[in-house]
Structure 1
Amino acid sequence: MDFLATIKATAESTGGTVAVIEHLASRGAGSPLHVHSREDEWFYVIEGELTFWVGGNTSVAPAGSFVFGPKGIPHTFMVSSGQARFLLVTEPAGFEGFMRAGSQPAERLEIPPAPTDPPDIAAMSALAAQYGIEILGPPGIPD
């Protein structure tokens, strides 16, 4: 992944109710188009700006914005400013397991260099399926 993710609250610390993950990312970073079968997602933009596509609707979310990604609805996001910091809250918890399994531990608390190779969508899709997530398309905001 091309962002720094810090897990702030886990299933273990919240009795399974929510997970909270802080993200720091550069322009263009984001998620592939996907849909969750288990959890709703809430995004709170602390700094910078994100562009979201949720169920066919595109919105720009500057700092202070709150965006809801309900389970069962396809969605994606992308950092549209130079850099952004945001919180991702999932309910119920469990998504943080996917983040741990699909990420590398950070060597430093800074945004890692962008990957030089494209993501392995087949491997990501297989891992995502274990967490009730279906990858529907590549990263980026659909037209």
Structure 2
Amino acid sequence: MFDASPQQPLDPVAMPREEGEARWWLGCLAVTKLAAADTGGAMSIVEITEPPGAEAPRHVHHLEDETFWILDGSVTFEVGGTTFEAGPGDLAFGPRDVPHSYKVGPQGCRMLFILTPGGFERAIEAMSTPARTRTLPPDTEAPPDMTGLESQIAAFGCEMVEDEGAGHV
């Protein structure tokens, strides 16, 4: 984890839409727009494009809070036992140590993961391959290895958790 206390002044960062490190990660396109190294460890921002019906299994982050800002499409979130629908312009917050999951709607979605403090982009890099194009992975790409996912995410302060009944907002 990066030390969030500033050691030296940070440089400004401007990221055009078609720039950032693009990776194929667990069936989605993940583009790192702002890395912990750019912010003195304060945050990371990753643009995620998910196909229709994609699901993030219920898990918990122990090192960072995760904010989801929906740009296009729709997503159903479950955070801490509460379920809610989100569409373009909507935002959801998943505090660290609170289990959460999501399911993408029928049109797919594009959203920002805003992680504080930063550094989770290293987990994405470790569990992904460089994207050859800025599209969803082709059907010829190997499906995500969900059996090895638990040990992979544990190395980055995350864990898979059992599903619980959820309330609806």
Q: Which residue of 2 aligns with 1:70?
A: 95
5 Å-filtered alignment, 1:45-124, equals 45-114=70-139, 119-124=144-149
> What TM-score, normalized to structure 1?
0.90
Residues 5/142 of structure 1: CA separation in 2 closer, same or farther (3 Å cut): farther
Indicate conservation of the 8 Å contact 1:52/1:60, yes or no: yes
Higher relative contact order, structure no. (Cα contacts within 8 Å, ≥ 6 residues apart): 1
Q: How many residue pairs are counted as aligned between the two chains? A: 141
Q: Deviations over 1:79-138 (max 9, x none)?
A: 113121110000001111110100111111111135787643342111111110001258
CA–CA separation in structure 2 for the residues paired with 1:72 and 1:142: 18
CA contact 1:38–1:132 (8 Å) conserved in 2: yes
Per the normalisation by structure 2, the TM-score is 0.77
Distance in 2 (CA, whole Å) between partners of 1:4 and 1:16 is 23
More helix by share: 1
Query: What value does the CA root-mean-square deviation take over the aligned residues?
Result: 2.1
Matched-pair identity in %: 36
Tell me if the contact between 1:22 and 1:85 (Cα under 8 Å) persists in the aligned partners: yes
Give ranges in structure 1 of 5+ residues lacking alignment: none
Shift of the 61–115 alpha-carbon distance from structure 1 to 2, 3 Å rule, reads: farther
- Which structure 1 residue ranges, 4+ long, deviate > 4 Å from structure 2? 114-118
Structure 2: gaps (5+ residues): 1-25
Computing the radius of gyration over CA atoms, which structure comes out larger, 1 or 2? 2
Matched, 1:127 2:152: yes
